[in-house]
Amino acid sequence: MTAVNSRCSQNTEDQTTDSAQEEDSSSQKAKSHEQNPAGYISNIDLENGFRGFGFSSELIKTIESKGYKSPTPIQAAAFPELMLGRDLLGQAQTGTGKTAAFALPILERLEDKNGPPQVLVLTPTRELAMQVADSFSSYSEGHPNIKILAVYGGADFRYQINALRRGVHVVVGTPGRVMDHMRQGTLIQSQLKCLVLDEADEMLRMGFIDDIEWILEHLPKERQMVFFSATMPSEIRRLSKRYLEEPAEITIKAQKKDPKLIRQRYITVQNSYKIEALKRVLETSSNEAVIIFARTKAITQRVAEVLESVDHNVAVLNGDVPQALRERTIERLRNGGIDILVATDVAARGLDVERIELVINYDMPFDTEAYVHRIGRTGRAGRNGEAILFVSPRERSFLHNMEKAAGQKIEKMDIPNNDFINQYRLKKIRNELSQKQEMDAHDEKEILILEKLINEMEEELKMDPKTIALNALKLAIGKSNLLINDDESWLTQPDSYRRRNERYDDRNRGKRRSNYDVGAVEKDKLRYRLEVGFRDHVKPGNIVGAIANESGLKGKLIGRIQIKEHYSLVDLPKGMPSNIFQNLKKVKVMNKELNISIYTEK
C-alpha cells in the first residue's frame, strides 16, 4: 500500500456490487465543486470501474474479486477527496455504499508498518463495530500484514489489550470501550492520522456526543476527520464546524423505491435448528422460485444436500462454480428447470430472474448493504416479493440496522408448526386434484382408459371407488406419511426465556428504554437507580442475580426492571435494612459497582 504522511478516512456499511448502478443517480455536493456538482460525477469514468482513483493494483484486484464493477455515487464523490487527505462531511442513507466509500481510501493510504493505530473508527453499537471491522478485513485481503481490531464492551478486555500491544493499523470501536483503552493508555493516540465518525446522528440519538467530544479532544492536532450521517441535525453541524477543517461536503439521496413490493419478515431460531426451520418454511411456501443466501460455500453445499434429500429441486451457486456452469444454472432457474437456488453473496451478484418470489437469508448478511442487495433479487419488474431473515437470539440487535437500510419494518414470523404444515398439505392435495381435473378434461382417450381400469378393479378385486381413490392418493403421496408428527418442542420456549428475549429485541431494534413505560411503582415497593446500563451490556438476569445474592431477596420479590443507556431502574420492597442497602452499593455487575440510590423523577 502507498505510504503517506497526510491524513486518511473511512465509514461503515459495505459496498453494493453492480447493484451500485441500481441506486440510480443521486444529488451530491462537494465543497470544491459547488458550482457544478452534477459535473463532478460526470467527470469520473464509471465505465473504468475503480481504476481511476489511484488505488493500487492489489486493492483493485481485491475489489474486483468481490464482484464490484463500478463505484456508487457516494464512492465516486468521496474517493478523490479522501485520497487527497481532506476532511469530509458526508450525508447518505444506508444502502448507498458508505463503508467502502471511506474504507478503501483509508486502506490505500495506510503506512504498512506495525505499531500504534493509524486509524480510529467510532460506531454507536458493537454490532456495527463488528460489521465495519469485517468490511476492513475483507477489503484488505490482498494485504495480509494489515491488522484490524474491533473493540467494544462485553468482549475480552485483556485480549484487546494484547492485540493493541502487538500493533494494529485500524481500530473500530464503540465510544465507551475506546475511552476505557485511552484512559488506561492501551490505545496510543499519537500515531492516529484519521478518525471516522460513523452513524453520527445515531451517536447523537443514543447520547454519545459528550463521549465523542472527549475522544476528539484527545486526538493529535494533525489528523483527518470524516463524519458520515444519515441526517444532519444541528448538533452534528456544530461538531463539524468545530473539528473539521474546510471539509468537502457530500450529500447523496438514495433512490426512492416502493418498499411495499417486498414483504419482509424475520424468524428467530437457534443455529442448531436452522435447517429444520428452513425445511418447514419451504414446505409451506407457494412461491414460484426461491433464493437462499448462505454465508460460506460449505454452508451452501450442506443446505442444498439436505433439501435434495427431501425432494426439493435445488442447485448451488458459489465461488467454486465455473462461469459456464453458473450461466447454465441461472438459465435453468429462469426457465423453471430448478426452483431453489442456494447461493453466497458474491456468486449472486447481478442476478436478475423475474421468477424469484422469495429470498431467504439463511445466514445473517455480512452487513446492511448486503441485506439490501439480497432482498433486491425479488420483487423484480414491478412484481411483489417476499424476504425472510433467519435471526439467532444473539443477532437480534442487527434487526434495527436492517430495517433502517431497507426503509421499512421487518415483521416477526413464526416457524410453521406441525398443525400448520398438515393443514397446508391437505389444502395442497385438494388444489392439485382440482387442477388435475381441469387440465386433463380434454384428454378423453386417457380418461376412458383410467375408467376402464377402475371398473376392472371393482369387478375383479371387489373394491369400491372410494377405496380405489384412497389407494391412488397413497400411491401419489409415496412412502412418507401425509401428516407430519415430528418433535416440535424446540419451537416453543419457556415464558421467562421468551420475555427476556422480547426485552432484548425491543432494546436492540432502536427503541430506547427511556421511551418504555414501566408503569407506576407498586405500593409496597420503592424505585431505585443502579449505575449500570445498556452500554455495560447488562441484562435483567444480571441485576436480579446480584440483588438476590446480596440481599437474600427471592427473585419474585424483585419488581420491574428498566435498563437505560447509562443506568437502570429496579423496584424493590420498602423497608430495606440500611446495612443491605450499603452492601448493594458495592456489589458489582459487569465489573461496575451498582452504587444503588433511591430514584427521584426529574
In a domain, 499, yes or no: no
What's the pTM? 0.49
How far is the C-alpha of 417 from the C-alpha of 486, rounded, in Å? 9
Please tell me the least confidently modeled range out of 54-68, 214-228, 230-244, 453-467: 453-467
Name residue 310's amino acid.
V
Residue 47 Cα distances to 18, 76, 348, 404, 563, angstroms = 12, 12, 21, 30, 51
- Among residues 211, 229, 252, the one where a domain terminates is 252
Mark whether 137 and 265 lie in a shared domain.
no
Establish if 205 belongs to a structural domain. Answer: yes
Neighbours of 188 (CB within 10 A): 14
Q: Contact 9/106 with Cβ under 8 angstroms?
A: yes
Predicted local confidence at residue 212, as pLDDT? 92
Sign for the CA dihedral angle at 249, 254, 255, 256 comes to negative
C-alpha–C-alpha distance, residues 10 and 98, integer Å: 8
pLDDT per residue over 124-148, tens digit each? 877 788 878 988 998 998 888 899 9
Is residue 206 domain-shared with residue 297, that is, in the same domain? no
Question: Quick check: is 493 in a domain?
Answer: no
Q: What's the chain's average pLDDT?
A: 79
Element (H, E) at 148: strand 148-151
Amino acid in position 247: P
My answer on whether 411 and 425 are in the same domain is no
Q: Read off the C-alpha cell for 319.
A: 465461488
Q: Which three cell numbers stand for residue 125?
A: 453499537
* Separation between Cα atoms, residue 126 and residue 121, nearest integer Å: 12
Q: What is the pLDDT of residues 415-466, one digit of tens each?
A: 998 888 888 888 887 777 776 665 555 567 777 887 788 888 877 877 887 8
Instruction: Report the pLDDT averaged over residues 354-363.
Output: 92
What's 575's domain CATH number?
3.30.70.330
Supply the pLDDT for residue 277.
93
The rounded distance, in Å, linking the Cα atoms of 468 and 481 is 18
Same domain, 355 and 227: no
379 and 433 co-located in one domain: no
CA dihedral sign, ordered 533, 534, 539, 542: negative
Last residue of a domain, one of 218, 252, 286: 252
If 0-12 CB within 10 Å is exposed, 13-18 middle and 19+ buried, where does residue 202 land?
Answer: buried
The answer to whether residue 12 is domain-embedded is no
| pLDDT level of residue 1 (50, 70, 90 thresholds) | very low
- Cβ neighbors of 397 (< 8 A, separation 6 or more) are 125, 127, 504, 507, 508, 509
Same domain, 300 and 329: yes
Q: Which domain-ending residue is among 252, 285, 311?
A: 252
> What pLDDT is stored for residue 438 in this prediction?
58
* pLDDT (tens digit per residue) in 179-219: 999 999 999 999 999 999 998 888 887 788 889 999 999 99
Cα–Cα distance for residue pair 167/494, rounded to 1 Å: 46
- Examine the pLDDT at 296 and tell me if it is beyond 90: no
The verdict on residue 342 lying in a domain is: yes
Is residue 247 domain-shared with residue 388, that is, in the same domain?
A: no
342 in the same domain as 243:
no
- Domain hosting residue 95, numbered range: 18-252
Task: Examine residue 185 and state whether it is found in any structural domain, yes or no.
Answer: yes
Work out the end-to-end distance of the chain between its first and last CA atoms, rounded to an integer number of angstroms.
Answer: 54
Please give the tally of structural domains in the chain.
Answer: 4
Residues 187 and 148 in one domain: yes
pLDDT of residue 372: 83
Residue 169 in any domain: the answer is: yes
Write phi, then psi, for 292 (nearest 5 degrees).
Answer: -110, 120
Q: What CATH number is given to the structural domain containing 181? A: 3.40.50.300
Tens-place pLDDT, residues 531-547: 988 777 777 877 887 88
Same domain, 263 and 376: yes
Tell whether 298 and 217 lie within a shared domain. no
**Is residue 11 in some structural domain?**
no
Share of the chain above pLDDT 70, in %: 81
The yes-or-no verdict on residue 4 having pLDDT over 90 is no
Residues 314 and 424 in one domain: no
- Alpha-carbon gap, residue 145 to 169, rounded angstroms: 9
